[in-house]
């Protein structure tokens, strides 16, 4: 570290020290936006402290961290072919869940529960691997008595279905590291249509463009590693559980009806 830093550079150092894990998931643009400085200033800072570029700065922060984190342990296991891969992967998931617990805003979570409870109908939007937590959330919400529907991933089918979503409805989106074009359309259309939105996201900081009414942060791993769905699934489960607790007897009555139907038609179902 140089003997003398400018006030701006000192601010960058303090930000990285206070938000290490978030910093490691950021692009240079996201960091500059968070600190209200230019990308060129960040690049100059990286060179001033002896790094070649922003990526080198992030690697240096990882290397200087006292704790050898689970992401690095897993990477080493995969590269060497040695060690217990299952144990390394499970440790990575434990770390992802812990970071989600630390970074997920409790007020946002409570607001999401209340929003779902008051929804006329819940629509889910997910693509590719994110369909897994979306499908689980759909199953859980249906069991509590909510009317739930999966939206088409994109294209004219999405536009046609989105035209019928309106006031009183809630759209839950799963779009993690990067907001898909289709998700952007859904968020952009919410003000005109009057529905509310909840976004499962891995981004702590958002640039220009439409925003969801409620953000639920989930940590899925560092930028360059295998991302998992453990945290999104856990938060989806917790959301459904908190909703059931809030609904009380109404949710229990719905489950009773389901159990009676299963018992009555057990030989046919």
Q: Is the dihedral of CA 12, 13, 15, 19 positive or negative?
A: positive
How high is the pLDDT of residue 112? 98
Note the pLDDT tens digit of each residue in 124-151. Answer: 999 999 999 999 999 999 999 899 999 9
Instruction: Identify the H or E element spanning 10.
Output: helix 7-18
Is there a single domain that holds both residue 190 and residue 257?
Answer: yes
Is there a single domain that holds both residue 19 and residue 113?
Answer: no
How high is the pLDDT of residue 78? 62
How high is the pLDDT of residue 66? 44
Is there a single domain that holds both residue 149 and residue 220?
Answer: yes
CATH number at residue 53: 1.10.10.10
- Starting at the earlier edge strand, list the strands of the sheet with 121-125: 148-150, 121-125, 169-174, 196-201, 214-217
CATH number at residue 120: 3.40.50.10490
Residue 156 Cα distances to 72, 144, 160, 161, 171, angstroms: 43, 31, 6, 9, 18
Q: Determine the 3-state secondary structure of 196 from DSSP.
A: strand
pLDDT tens, residue order, the chain (269 aa): 566 788 888 889 878 877 887 888 889 999 999 899 999 999 999 999 999 999 999 888 877 664 455 666 566 556 655 677 888 888 889 989 998 998 899 999 999 999 999 999 999 999 999 999 999 999 999 999 899 999 999 999 999 999 999 999 999 999 987 889 999 999 999 999 999 999 999 876 665 678 999 999 998 887 656 788 999 999 999 999 999 999 888 777 877 888 888 888 888 77
CA-CA distance, 119 to 100, in Å (whole number)? 26
Is there a single domain that holds both residue 117 and residue 45?
Answer: no
Does any domain span residue 144?
Answer: yes
Does any domain span residue 1?
Answer: no
Range of the domain at 39: 7-64
Is there a single domain that holds both residue 159 and residue 222?
Answer: yes
Does any domain span residue 38?
Answer: yes
Task: Give me 48's structure tokens.
Answer: 């001033």
Kindly report the average pLDDT of the chain as a whole number: 87
| CB 214, CB 128: distance < 8 Å | no
Q: Nearest to residue 116, comparing CAs of 140, 133, 100, 135?
A: 140
Does any domain span residue 135?
Answer: yes
Is there a single domain that holds both residue 178 and residue 232?
Answer: yes
Note the pLDDT tens digit of each residue in 150-165. Answer: 999 999 999 999 999 9
What is the number of domains present in the chain? Answer: 2
Is there a single domain that holds both residue 115 and residue 58?
Answer: no
pTM for the whole structure: 0.71
Residue 84 Cα distances to 60, 173, 236, angstroms: 27, 35, 29
């Amino acid at each position: 570290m140089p003997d003398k830093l400018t006030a701006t550079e000192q601010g960058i150092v303090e930000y990285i020290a206070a938000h290490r894990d978030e910093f490691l998931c950021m692009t240079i643009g996201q960091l500059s936006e968070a600190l209200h400085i230019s990308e060129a200033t960040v690049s100059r800072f990286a060179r001033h402290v002896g790094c070649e570029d922003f990526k080198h700065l992030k690697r240096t922060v990882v290397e200087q961290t006292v704790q050898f984190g689970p992401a690095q342990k897993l990477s080493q296991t995969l590269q060497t072919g040695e060690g217990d891969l299952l144990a390394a992967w499970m440790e990575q998931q434990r770390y992802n869940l812990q970071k989600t617990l630390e970074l997920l805003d409790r007020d946002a979570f409570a607001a999401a529960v209340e929003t779902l409870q008051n929804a006329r109908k819940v629509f889910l939007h997910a693509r590719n691997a994110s369909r897994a937590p979306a499908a689980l959330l759909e199953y859980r919400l249906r069991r509590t008595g909510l009317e739930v529907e999966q939206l088409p991933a994109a294209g004219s089918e999405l536009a046609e279905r989105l035209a019928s979503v309106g006031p009183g409805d809630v759209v839950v989106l799963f779009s993690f590291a990067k907001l898909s074009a289709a998700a952007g359309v859904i968020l952009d259309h919410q003000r005109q249509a009057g529905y509310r939105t909840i976004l499962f996201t891995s981004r702590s900081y958002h640039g220009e463009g439409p925003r969801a009414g409620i953000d639920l942060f989930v940590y899925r791993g560092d930028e360059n590693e295998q991302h998992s769905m453990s945290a999104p699934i856990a938060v989806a489960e917790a959301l459904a559980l908190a909703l059931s607790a809030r609904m009380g007897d109404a949710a229990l009555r719905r489950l009773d009806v389901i159990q009676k139907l299963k018992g009555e038609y057990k030989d046919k179902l």
